[in-house]
């Protein structure tokens, strides 16, 4: 599958001069091809929610679907639902719904467990495919802490050394000693988008596989797993995919890697014949090799219902709106706040920007709380970052304008 290319936004240029910021926001919202998706979410009119990069908003279809699962499938059908309601095949079925959003194909994605568990599976399975003299695991030095913890554990388990490298240096660092590289697609603190095609190609040229963490890009940025021949990828589903708190994560494996995928956690659910209760493990075919234990059905089916909001959505259109939203936000911050008040640490270059903006402020923790009290929900990352996530399916340009005006008020004490 070719990687989607973001089209030119159909909305007006968010940096073009307009009579007033309000008119600009209104014009951008009127021209937004995704504007009708907002109605599919439970949102408060008095709150601007810019924390979808931590927990996505609730899709309206989820409560009713969960009630059906609980009262009918569990309450009435009970154990029959494993077959009659399709519970048993849900991890692969839901995986197939996520696959197009990350540029993967049918039968390559399985949903279950946490991102941490899936990272561990992918890392160890990757190392098991390379010769023993490839004795280094490269890891993005600025990765989310769990990624580093798990990479270190995988290194101990497989007798490798861990080598932290800045994400931008992994391509150059990859060499004959590289067993696998683990990279975050989007930096969780700064919102920087790393070069997935270039880094993947460089690691492959060095003869090693790569594992990508898509937690901050799945559902916000075109990924192109198949187009760029990514070996393994993992991601959570409770951010831009709106699956709910603690929703199960996903694991994607390139088709030609599936047959050799040797999971370090070979549970009964990944057995070729689970109910044979055999003493020896024979791995299942396809993505089911990534399963471990009994699926978390309630969370899994809540995610399945949440994914309905993606029906008919082009991820390239999502990317175009994401860039327009973040451009508008940066433009209004520059216009509303005195220079140096809250400088952005997120790259201005579209090719290096995810779907969040991080601003630096010396009193960021307190500012975040004042923003929340004033109805603008973002979050804080120590020591001094204000983080704002832009979820194109439900964030409006009017939201952005209001957020910046509140940011001005709480940082400067000015009316806006």
pLDDT at 143 over 60: yes
Please write the tens of the pLDDT for every residue from 266-314: 999 999 999 999 999 999 999 999 999 999 999 999 999 999 999 999 9
User: Binning pLDDT at 50, 70 and 90, where does residue 19 land?
Assistant: low
**Choice between 10 and 185, residue whose per-residue pLDDT is larger:** 185
Q: pTM higher than 0.85 for the full model?
A: yes
Active-site annotation holds for 380: no
Catalytic member of 238, 328, 394, 397: 238
121 is catalytic: no
Domain residue ranges of the chain, discontinuous segments joined by +: 21-60+314-412, 63-310
Neighbour count for residue 27 (Cβ, 10 Å) = 16
Give residue 3's pLDDT band: very low, low, confident or very high (50, 70, 90).
Answer: very low
- Does position 134 have pLDDT exceeding 60, yes or no? yes
The structural architecture, per CATH, of the domain 21-60+314-412 is Alpha-Beta Complex (3.90)
Of 97, 121, 387, 405, catalytic: 387
The pLDDT of residue 7: 47
When pLDDT is cut at 50, 70 and 90, the band that residue 78 belongs to is very high
Q: What is the mean pLDDT of residues 154-176?
A: 97
High-pLDDT (> 70) share of the chain, %: 95
Q: Which of 24, 38, 97, 239 is catalytic?
A: 239
Q: Cβ(403)–Cβ(47) under 8 Å?
A: no
**Tens-place pLDDT, residues 301-345:** 999 999 999 999 999 999 999 999 999 999 999 999 999 999 999
Q: What is the mean pLDDT of residues 35-46?
A: 96
Looking at residue 416, its pLDDT comes to 38
Residue 102's closest CA among 287, 240, 7? 240
Q: What secondary structure does DSSP assign to 265-313, as a single string? A: S--GGGBSSGGG--SS--BPSGGGGG--SS--HHHHHHHHHHGGGGTT-
Give the CA-trace dihedral at 303, 102, 213, 195, to 10 degrees. Answer: -150
Where does the pLDDT of residue 413 fall: very low under 50, low under 70, confident under 90, or very high at 90 and above?
confident
**CATH entry 3.40.640.10 includes domain 63-310:** yes
- Residue 2 — very low, low, confident or very high, per pLDDT cuts 50/70/90? very low
Give the integer Cα–Cα distance in Å for 316 and 138. 31
Write down the catalytic residue from 135, 140, 187, 213.
213
Given a cut of 90, is residue 379 above it in pLDDT? yes
The tens digit of pLDDT for each residue in 203-218 reads 999 999 999 999 999 9
| 239 catalytically annotated | yes
Distance between CA atoms of residues 26 and 14, nearest Å? 11
What is the structure's pLDDT at 13?
Answer: 52
Question: Annotated catalytic residue: which of 144, 188, 380, 390?
Answer: 144
Share of the chain above pLDDT 90, in %: 94
């Amino acid at each position: 599958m070719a990687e989607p290319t973001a089209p030119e936004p159909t909305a007006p240029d968010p940096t073009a001069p307009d009579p007033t910021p309000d008119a600009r926001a209104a014009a951008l919202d009127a021209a937004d091809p995704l504007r009708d998706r907002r109605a599919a979410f439970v949102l408060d009119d008095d709150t601007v929610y810019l924390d979808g990069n931590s927990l996505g908003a609730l899709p309206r279809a989820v409560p009713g679907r969960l009630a059906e699962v609980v009262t009918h499938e569990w309450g009435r059908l009970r154990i029959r639902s494993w077959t009659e309601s399709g519970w048993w095949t849900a991890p692969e079925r839901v995986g197939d719904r996520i696959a197009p959003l990350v540029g993967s194909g049918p039968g390559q994605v399985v949903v279950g467990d946490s991102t941490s568990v899936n990272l561990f599976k992918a890392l160890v399975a990757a190392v098991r495919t390379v010769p023993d003299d490839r004795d280094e695991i490269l890891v993005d030095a600025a990765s989310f802490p769990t990624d580093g913890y798990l990479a270190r554990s995988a290194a101990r388990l497989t007798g490798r050394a861990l080598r932290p490298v800045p994400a931008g240096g992994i391509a150059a660092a990859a060499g004959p000693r590289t067993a696998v590289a683990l990279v975050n697609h989007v930096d969780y603190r700064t919102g920087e988008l790393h070069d997935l095609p270039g880094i993947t190609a460089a690691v492959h040229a060095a003869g090693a596989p790569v594992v990508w963490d898509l937690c901050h890009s799945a559902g916000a940025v075109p990924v192109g797993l198949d187009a760029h021949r990514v070996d393994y990828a993992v991601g959570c589903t409770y951010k831009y995919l709106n699956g709910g708190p603690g929703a199960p994560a996903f694991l994607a494996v390139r088709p030609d890697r599936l047959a050799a995928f040797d999971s370090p956690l070979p549970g009964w659910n990944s057995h070729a014949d689970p109910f044979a209760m055999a003493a020896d493990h024979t791995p299942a075919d396809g993505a089911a090799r990534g399963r471990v234990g009994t699926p978390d059905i309630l969370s899994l089916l809540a995610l399945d219902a949440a994914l309905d909001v993606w029906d008919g959505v082009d991820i390239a259109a999502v990317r175009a709106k994401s860039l327009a939203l973040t451009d508008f936000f940066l433009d209004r911050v520059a216009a509303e706040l005195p220079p140096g008040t809250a400088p952005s640490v997120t790259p201005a270059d579209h090719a290096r920007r995810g779907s969040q903006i991080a601003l630096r402020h010396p009193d960021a923790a307190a500012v975040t709380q004042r923003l929340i009290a004033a109805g603008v929900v973002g979050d804080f990352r120590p020591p001094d970052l204000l983080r704002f996530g832009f979820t194109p399916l439900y964030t409006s340009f009017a939201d952005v304008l209001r957020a910046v005006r509140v940011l001005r008020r709480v940082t400067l004490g000015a009316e806006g």
